[in-house]
Amino acid sequence: MLARQVNFEDGQAAVDAIEQALQDLEQLRELPVAEHVGRFEAVHAALADALAKADNFLSRTSTNRS
Domains of the chain by residue range: 1-64
Find out whether 42 and 25 touch, Cβ atoms under 8 Å. no
Res 22 pLDDT > 50:
yes
Residue 58: predicted pLDDT: 74
For 18, counting Cβ atoms within 10 Å of its Cβ (0-12 exposed, 13-18 middle, 19+ buried), the class is middle
Residue 40: predicted pLDDT: 95
Q: What percent of the chain has pLDDT over 70?
A: 76
Residue 66: predicted pLDDT: 53
pTM summary value: 0.66
